[in-house]
Structure 1
Amino acid sequence: MVDYFANGNSVTNDNCITGDKNHLYDYLKESILKAREIDINVSFLMESGVRLLINDLLTAIHNGAHLRILCGNYLNITQPQALYLLKDQLGDRVDLRFYNVPNKSFHAKAYFFKYDDYQEIFIGSSNISRSALTHGIEWNYRINSKEKKEDCAYFRGAFEDIFLNNSIIVDDIELRRYSKQWRRPKVFQQLEKIEDQIEDQDTTKKVAQNQPDYIVDGQNASTNIISFPQPIGAQIEALYELRKFREENLDKGIVVAATGIGKTFLAAFDSKGFKKILFVAHRDEILQQAENTFKCIRPELSMGHFSGSQKDLEQDIIFASVQTLGKKEYLIEAYFKNNVFDYIIIDEFHHAVADHYTNIIEYFRPKFLLGLTATPERLDNKDVFALCDYNIVYEVRLKEAINKGWLVPFRYYGIYDETDYNSIDYINGRYKEDQLEKLVSINIRADLIYQNYLKYNSKKALGFCTSRNHALYMTNYFSEKGIQCCAVISGTIEEHQKSLTLDRTLAIQELKRGNIKLIFSVDMFNEGLDIPELDMVLFLRPTQSPTIFLQQLGRGLRKSKGKNYINVLDFIGNYKKANLVPFFLTGDSFVGQAGGKTRQLPEEEDYPEDCYIDFDFRLIDLFKKMAQEQKKIKDLVLEEYNRIKTDVDKRPMRSDMYVYIDDYIYANIRSKRDVNIFKDYLSFIDKINETTDDEKRLIGTIAHDFLKEIENTAMSKTYKMPILLAFYNKGNMKLKITEDDIYRSFKEFYSHGSNLVDLLRDKSTADAANWGKKEYVSLANRNPVRFLAQPSSRFFYKEGDLFCLTSELGDFVGDVGFVVHFKDVVDYRVKRFYKERLEKI
């Protein structure tokens, strides 16, 4: 109802909503709760508006109402997370569609409500956003069929025509497509400011410092939580994908999300529905931060710790140090039954290839295991994805997160550093630490860093150093220049060093208060802890790994009030792989492959939007020179073989090489038969004199040809692998296998989550979870057996109900070398199948 004065008289109109004294939301709420049919037609949806309406819509649906929503995707104003939120909360109880007429704008806003004996429509200017529904000057007009029957019928007919004939259904495929291509439009920045101002005006709520999802007491500076936070942004999307993922009966998966997205909150939200939870991390600070988060989201559950001297066992949620829990002495029933936890979260999952992590993963049998990481690619190239059967449930990398406005953009300055890294030893992919420390801890380099620090005017900065002593050296140098700073380092601190250092928690507090302006550290800020207020990060060490590079960059990208960007100062010399730094900045998930492209530098469009990248011209010359001097690929492969041999402490088999090989090298060899060692691995190790006497006897024989056949056979599905494993027979190889052998092998192979899902996702095998011998044998005969036993095959044939290997292989099935290589080829092909499937997603 609106009151205004005309000629000194008050005028009232119940049907005119102007956003002055009344707002559309109050009308919509009343109508939603009593309608039996609800149709919403808006040009865009925002998360804030959907969150405002969602509980009312749920109530209406529970009361039997039918709901349809038509929105536009024009100019990308509709937020993907708004759509995800609707689908997550309402599921198939909402018919959600996009307007779909190319090159035609869509600005209509109308809300239709059918009641038992009439209908009403609100037509006007309000889209679904909090500001439009509750605060803005928005004009809307209500008509009803009792008074305006023809008008209501006309608008209803127009809506039905668009909805039925000019729209597309927003199913999961369309939703993912829209989300992946979505970029925050420029106009969105102003819309977000308005939404933020509305939040600021709400004095009953306040966002806690450093925990943007906490809602705390607005009258008290403490962090006493008075209201539960809600998922935001990427968390909404990831939660939906996790739910859909588990509906396929998968029990483990990875979420890859850029630093600053809120992965711990995501895990806490996702844990709802599970009663016994284990959270594993490698630092006490991360565990404590995780406990604070879970207290906010799951306050009804009891919480305990398993680390050091504290060994809690009975609480609902256990926060465990990997260094303690990963010891085999604790992975026994006296402490924990292997099925005690319903839900396990492994934080910083890129560490999970380490023994203590794998001990935990291999021991426990949870209903679901979630790995969280911002950077799954490792410097040692160990394959993190394999631990979760290459199941990436949800992924949002740095570039996408910046483009969507979930992180702030960066201004990157690549600064030329004359330090000569060729003067120190480089062994097995690493510089010798003591030599590197001495090389970078010199005054001329420190002054270069100091001068550039002053140039870009920072109040809160973080510098990443190469070692403890380097961090102390930089702290001392800057302190002597009058800069308030400290070092945060691990390990024992000598008495004479104490004046230069602070405990990590205290250092963060002092930085936020403005008492210090700069923290120097090595790796204690790489992971787990964010400082949203940072305005600068400094890279003071040679960073060869995309993982470490993105971890360092990510420290400064978290959003904070009044923060528009982060300055990044990177001091680059002629260290190994320096020419890949421009590609690291793209946030490419397979950044190592960039070096294999013909271009020497990324294009502007490869970088996140609104980011500024500036390399000293001398660095451009250096990058080009390094690219031109790149070693021949054959030499790189041999170097990589020797590196992996050292890392795994044995001669690597093809499956080892595939898991650990550098992405850049693999990208260069995969399509080149003459250098692709995986096309004929036995010949490769023979050429470099790494074969045993048993293996040498295989060279050039039919057994060798058989191994090559498996290495190179086409695989659109995994069907061939259980057939081959039936012949393998757990190491006691057979020349002939029966239908019982085939059934047992198929049943065992497809009992593993990811293998089974490949069947369930195909319509022809969607009921595989209930299969017996008849169905599995039928599948084997239709697919792998038929293809392997073609008349042209040298190796396979059918003999009645038996499936057979050629008798010429009879001389080799008892040969240890052949059997080992046979199993290794199968392992390699399974790993390759899932990794290549992952790359296509």
Structure 2
Amino acid sequence: MAIPPKQYVSMFRFSKGALTGIGKTYLAAFDSREYQRILFVAHREEILKQAEKSFKNVRPMSERGFFIGTQKETDKDIIFASVQSLGKNDSLKLFQPDYFDYIIVDEFHHAVAQNYQNIINYFQPRFLLGLTATPERLDSKDVLAICDYNLVYEAPLKKAINQGWLVPFRYYAIFDETVNYETIDYRNGKYQTTQLEEALSIHKRADLIFSHYKKYRSTRAMGFCMSKHHAEFMADYFVKHGVSACAVYSGDEGVHNTAREKALSKLVKGEINVIFSVDMFNEGLDIASLDMVMMLRPTESPTIFLQQLGRGLRLYKDKHYLNVLDFIGNYKKANFSPYLMTGASKSQFKKASDVIKEDALLPEDCIMDFDFRLIDLFEKMDRSSIKIEKLLVEEYERIKAELGHRPSRTELFTYMDETIYLNIKSKAKINPFKNYLNFLKNQNDLSDEEIAWLDTPAANFINMIEKTPMSKTYKLPTILAFIKNGRLELKINDDDLYESFKDFYSHGSNAVDLLRDKNSQTFKEWGKAEYVKLARKNPVHFLCQSESEIFSSDEEFMYLTNSLAPYQENLLFIQHIKDAIELRKQEFYKNRLEKLESK
């Protein structure tokens, strides 16, 4: 299998079990001498050691080293680095930005975090590959946006099970009326921790969980809890009821708390039957012998839910399927589970109850069993949906609180919940991305300077960028050509257009438009004449025609209206321009991917 083009930032999307099949095909590509230096990045030492063993089989003659803690090897052919060690500025400076030919980032759904961003933004490899089993948004952070919605390969849960890479599941959705989530405070997309912990750690709920656990002949189970106290409570309850169990979480307090490696060893050997975990087994380690997982916390993140499900789907001798017990109450997002188990989307099915009825959505040999009371709950939730305008404002406030500052257009787009985005996407009147200044005005979140821009050429120019039609990306480098050295120029020449287009399309993701058109497939060999011809024929012509109050041109120059002269050196204004352009670029990538997936 040939490696995709140089500088093509991509994402390799698959269910983890596929690493033994499809993953090996990609690892085999590393036999090529074309990529001499390779960096493998992960956040856990166990993942790095597993990866080193795989690469040893494929590239036995290559020197391999680790960049973890105090062990900082910098002169090996293949380096396995922890994101915590490499993501620091002092560590990055030990390497030249172009030192690595090929960079692989495992568990790529973490790539929105700062240390990952430091690594991704610092290095300039010929190829960057992201690996993840859960590309869905982590707390609404759009991971796909980081790689400009480029996919190399995708094997979702259904395909992985149908191909025999993972075992089938028996999913039992159990109605849990022991907790009334409406009495628990909910802020910025999360339940208040202390209140939720107390509500979940009660004997009535433990009775419900234990009674369902005993229905199945489980020998190795894992229960996912929301806090240390909750995990301790559940482990203590099971032990007192005759089932050997322990809790695993960070720290060393608690009677039942056991070190992760020790607990895992005991579970594999059959010395204990259940581990109650708090985010310690979500990813990174294969626990193939698990025959049951219990979801004991409200589903707030699709990524975490699928990670936890994935702990039990690994192939294992004499293991024919995994039992999944999900205890669902009237919490927000309770109706996510049908979508997560089937891979359906909100754009396909507006109601969770409709997803449940579609048996064809399930992978082969899988079962999904919902308590009838849950179906009633889901239908009630669908009927009582909050107006999208209110949801949008709540989402804006959530993202603002999470970031600690007013989100830019691009940040709001990247972190916005997918369901909300799909709802506002085609509604121009409420879509904040069609006029972000006006949206911020309605939230009382404009500065005095920005308020002064309203109904002026400055606001009109920004709004033009937000709304101008785009079938390709050509308008973006045209507008960017007017920004030079942090200043907005009022006229540009062919040299400016050439430099802007050449820079913009030197990035593989942007180059897709040129690669798909037979007239521009040879763009890498182009000089000034070819780029200027493209710019003049397409975006310059159409911008001057459709936005004639802002743009004009002659044979030598392209002009901006003189009414923008007062804002030429306004850094905040230029920041808004760049943000609007970046937002349009990310939206374009997302729409491009959706069109490809719909074919």
Taking structure 1 as the reference length, what is the TM-score of the superposition?
Answer: 0.67
Distance 1:486 1:779, change over 3 A: same
- For residue 411 of structure 1, give the secondary structure of its aligned residue in structure 2: strand
1:401 matched residue in structure 2: 160
| 1:598 CA drift (Å) | 9.5
- For residue 301 of structure 1, give the secondary structure of its aligned residue in structure 2: coil
Letter in 2 for 1:616: D
Alignment of 1:344-743 (within 5 A): 344-418=103-177, 419-491=179-251, 493-494=252-253, 497=255, 500-588=256-344, 591=345, 593=347, 596=350, 601-602=355-356, 603-743=358-498
The answer to whether the 8 A contact 1:278-1:319 is kept is yes
| 1:539 CA drift (Å) | 0.4
After the TM superposition, which segments of 4 or more aligned residues of structure 1 sit over 6 Å from their partners?
none
The worse-fitting range, judged by mean Cα deviation, of 812-821 and 414-423 is: 812-821
Is 1:300 the counterpart of 2:56? The answer is no
| 1:671 CA drift (Å) | 1.0
The answer to whether the 8 A contact 1:422-1:574 is kept is yes
Distance in structure 2 (CA, Å) of the matches to 1:816 and 1:316: 43
Distance in structure 1 (CA, Å) of the matches to 2:525 and 2:496: 19
| 1:399 CA drift (Å) | 1.8
What are the Cα deviations for residues 441-493 of structure 1, in whole angstroms up to 9, with x where unaligned? 111111111110011221221111111221122111111111122222222x1
Distance 1:353 1:267, change over 3 A: farther
Distance 1:786 1:427, change over 3 A: same
2:4 matched residue in structure 1: 245
- For residue 238 of structure 2, give the secondary structure of its aligned residue in structure 1: helix
Is 1:256 the counterpart of 2:16? The answer is no
Distance in structure 1 (CA, Å) of the matches to 2:559 and 2:404: 37
Letter in 2 for 1:256: R
- For residue 173 of structure 2, give the secondary structure of its aligned residue in structure 1: strand
Distance in structure 2 (CA, Å) of the matches to 1:710 and 1:806: 15
Distance in structure 2 (CA, Å) of the matches to 1:487 and 1:598: 33
- For residue 318 of structure 1, give the secondary structure of its aligned residue in structure 2: strand
The answer to whether the 8 A contact 2:338-2:352 is kept is no
Distance in structure 2 (CA, Å) of the matches to 1:604 and 1:699: 53
Distance in structure 2 (CA, Å) of the matches to 1:575 and 1:705: 43
Distance 1:812 1:336, change over 3 A: closer
Letter in 2 for 1:773: K
Which residue, 296, 311, 314 being the options, matches 2:75? 314
- For residue 519 of structure 2, give the secondary structure of its aligned residue in structure 1: helix
Distance in structure 2 (CA, Å) of the matches to 1:674 and 1:567: 46
Distance in structure 2 (CA, Å) of the matches to 1:447 and 1:583: 28
Distance 1:694 1:792, change over 3 A: closer
User: Relative contact order (C-alpha < 8 Å, sep 6+): which is higher?
Assistant: 2
- For residue 393 of structure 2, give the secondary structure of its aligned residue in structure 1: helix
2:525 matched residue in structure 1: 770
Distance in structure 1 (CA, Å) of the matches to 2:105 and 2:570: 41
| 1:758 CA drift (Å) | 2.6
Distance 1:422 1:598, change over 3 A: closer
What are the Cα deviations for residues 723-752 of structure 1, in whole angstroms up to 9, with x where unaligned? 000123343112221111111111111121
The answer to whether the 8 A contact 1:579-1:624 is kept is no
What are the Cα deviations for residues 114-173 of structure 1, in whole angstroms up to 9, with x where unaligned? xxxxxxxxxxxxxxxxxxxxxxxxxxxxxxxxxxxxxxxxxxxxxxxxxxxxxxxxxxxx
Distance in structure 2 (CA, Å) of the matches to 1:413 and 1:720: 51
Alignment of 1:162-173 (within 5 A): none
Distance in structure 2 (CA, Å) of the matches to 1:356 and 1:734: 36
| 1:717 CA drift (Å) | 1.2
Sequence identity of aligned pairs in percent? 53
The answer to whether the 8 A contact 2:167-2:322 is kept is yes
Distance in structure 2 (CA, Å) of the matches to 1:474 and 1:366: 47
The worse-fitting range, judged by mean Cα deviation, of 524-533 and 273-282 is: 273-282
Distance in structure 2 (CA, Å) of the matches to 1:250 and 1:395: 20
Distance in structure 1 (CA, Å) of the matches to 2:3 and 2:51: 25
Distance in structure 2 (CA, Å) of the matches to 1:702 and 1:339: 42
- For residue 154 of structure 2, give the secondary structure of its aligned residue in structure 1: strand
What are the Cα deviations for residues 496-531 of structure 1, in whole angstroms up to 9, with x where unaligned? 62xx24333333333222222222111111111122
1:326 matched residue in structure 2: 87
The answer to whether the 8 A contact 2:134-2:303 is kept is yes
The answer to whether the 8 A contact 1:256-1:395 is kept is yes
Which residue, 30, 45, 50 being the options, matches 1:271? 30
The answer to whether the 8 A contact 1:756-1:769 is kept is no
Distance in structure 2 (CA, Å) of the matches to 1:551 and 1:361: 23
Distance in structure 1 (CA, Å) of the matches to 2:570 and 2:100: 44
Letter in 2 for 1:381: S
Distance in structure 2 (CA, Å) of the matches to 1:703 and 1:599: 48
Distance 1:597 1:771, change over 3 A: farther
Count of paired positions: 590
What are the Cα deviations for residues 243-263 of structure 1, in whole angstroms up to 9, with x where unaligned? 2523xx334311011132127
The answer to whether the 8 A contact 1:596-1:664 is kept is no
Is 1:823 the counterpart of 2:582? The answer is no
Alignment of 1:11-26 (within 5 A): none
1:222 matched residue in structure 2: none
- For residue 372 of structure 1, give the secondary structure of its aligned residue in structure 2: strand
Is 1:783 the counterpart of 2:538? The answer is yes
The answer to whether the 8 A contact 2:30-2:58 is kept is no
Letter in 2 for 1:468: K
What are the Cα deviations for residues 58-98 of structure 1, in whole angstroms up to 9, with x where unaligned? xxxxxxxxxxxxxxxxxxxxxxxxxxxxxxxxxxxxxxxxx
1:285 matched residue in structure 2: 46
Runs of 5+ consecutive residues of structure 1 not aligned to the other structure:
1-239
Distance in structure 2 (CA, Å) of the matches to 1:597 and 1:445: 28
- Bigger Cα Rg: 1
- For residue 104 of structure 2, give the secondary structure of its aligned residue in structure 1: strand
Distance in structure 1 (CA, Å) of the matches to 2:24 and 2:287: 16
Distance 1:507 1:292, change over 3 A: farther
Letter in 1 for 2:97: N
Distance 1:594 1:467, change over 3 A: farther
Taking structure 2 as the reference length, what is the TM-score of the superposition?
Answer: 0.93
Distance in structure 1 (CA, Å) of the matches to 2:134 and 2:546: 48
Distance in structure 2 (CA, Å) of the matches to 1:706 and 1:365: 33
Distance 1:479 1:705, change over 3 A: same
Distance 1:614 1:752, change over 3 A: same
The answer to whether the 8 A contact 1:596-1:667 is kept is no
- For residue 651 of structure 1, give the secondary structure of its aligned residue in structure 2: coil
Distance in structure 2 (CA, Å) of the matches to 1:327 and 1:468: 30
| 1:337 CA drift (Å) | 2.8
Which residue, 67, 75, 100 being the options, matches 1:341? 100
